[in-house]
Every structure is written in structure tokens, then in C-alpha cells.
Amino acid sequence: MHALRYLFLMSASLLTGCVAVTIQSNVKPDAKPDFQRILIVSRLPMQRPGYLAKFQTAFPTSYQVCSVADSPIAFETPDELIQRQQESCKSEVILTLGFSRNYTSGGGKSIATFNEVYAEMSSIATGKPFWKAIIETNGSAEIPPRQIVNQLINDGVIAGSVPADRY
């Protein structure tokens, strides 16, 4: 079954030239606060400079989105970076993206690389998570923000729809 799923992911990415993404998520509805301000915290290694900015246009317009990268080359501690950005944006929840693991499948000419990213949304007031996800991609650890936002909408965590792509 897993081999079939990987074959599908690999085929889809080759045909479309895009990142194939599989998301498994879980919601704790009774812990979900009402919120409009979201802080995206990326703990992904080697992300492109414009990656986090894409989240600002991926969420429905009723949400205010700020972001911060927890970079190993930053001079501030991760807690200092997050605290400063959270205070500046007056964020109510934090969506954290962190690298989980990397693995390969197949062999010879049909080898494929997969990355697993862990995502968690938690309340700043309580510190407790109310949405968790494991996201698997082929090749890149950068998950398209619109796909994460679509999953949050499908799971009932946020309301609205993903704005039309401006390209």
C-alpha cells in the first residue's frame, strides 16, 4: 500500500512539475480559540527567502498573518525571535512548521526522496495545541502555503476560502 502511494506521489510530481503533498491532520475542537491573528513560525532548514511571505496571501482576507523563521544563523534565541514577533503582531495563535524527517524510496533510476514536516497550531493564551498535522512532500520541505491553508479550512480550524492566486 505504501509503495503504491509513493508511486502515485512520484508520478503526480513528474507529470505536473509540482510538489506532491499528503497531509494527515487531527483537530481538538474544544481547545480551538476564536482568533484572527496568526503567527507562522518556521523551523524548516534552508527555506527560500520569500517562502514565509506566501502565507500572508494564502489565508482568507479576514485573517492577519505574520511570520518568523527560527534560523540557526540568527543571533537571538528562538524564544526571543518568536516573542518579539508575537508582541509586534499581537498574534492569538501560532502555526509552527518543523522538519520531521527525510527518507528515500525505491532504487536505481526510480529512487525518490520524501520529506516529512510536522505542523502544529496552538493558542498563545493557553500554550495548548488544537491542530496537528504530518505533511509529506516529495523532494522539498517547503509545503505550498495554500495547501496548508486548504487543510485548515477543511478541518474547520479557519473559516473562508483561499484567495484566488494572483499569478
CATH of the domain at 67: 3.40.50
Percent of the chain with pLDDT over 70: 78
Instruction: Examine residue 165 and state whether it is found in any structural domain, yes or no.
Output: no
Residues 135 and 148: beta-carbon distance below 8 Å: yes
Radius of gyration of the chain, Cα coordinates, nearest whole angstrom: 17
For the ranges 58-67, 108-117, 141-150, the lowest mean pLDDT is seen at 108-117
Instruction: Examine residue 99 and state whether it is found in any structural domain, yes or no.
Output: yes
Instruction: Examine residue 161 and state whether it is found in any structural domain, yes or no.
Output: no
Domain span at 91: 2-154
What one-character-per-residue DSSP string does 48-111 give? -TTTTHHHHHHS-TTSEEEEEE--TT-SS-HHHHHHHHHHHHT-SEEEEEEEEEEEEES-GGG-
What strands lie across the sheet with 93-105, from one edge to the other?
21-27, 129-138, 112-123, 93-105, 37-43, 64-69
Instruction: Examine residue 23 and state whether it is found in any structural domain, yes or no.
Output: yes
The tens digit of pLDDT for each residue in 1-58 reads 433 343 344 434 333 345 688 899 999 999 999 999 999 999 887 778 888 999 999 9
Task: State residue 101's pLDDT score.
Answer: 56
The tens digit of pLDDT for each residue in 122-136 reads 999 999 999 999 988
Distances in whole angstroms, Cα of residue 126 to Cα of each of 3, 16, 94, 114, 130: 40, 42, 11, 34, 10
Distance CA 102, CA 98 (A): 12
Task: State residue 65's pLDDT score.
Answer: 96
Q: How many domains does the chain have?
A: 1
Task: State residue 104's pLDDT score.
Answer: 59
- Between 124 and 141, where is the model more confident? 124
Percent of the chain with pLDDT over 90: 48
Report the range out of 55-64, 109-118, 135-144 with the highest average pLDDT: 55-64
**Mean pLDDT computed over every residue of the chain:** 82
Instruction: Examine residue 131 and state whether it is found in any structural domain, yes or no.
Output: yes
Instruction: Examine residue 167 and state whether it is found in any structural domain, yes or no.
Output: no
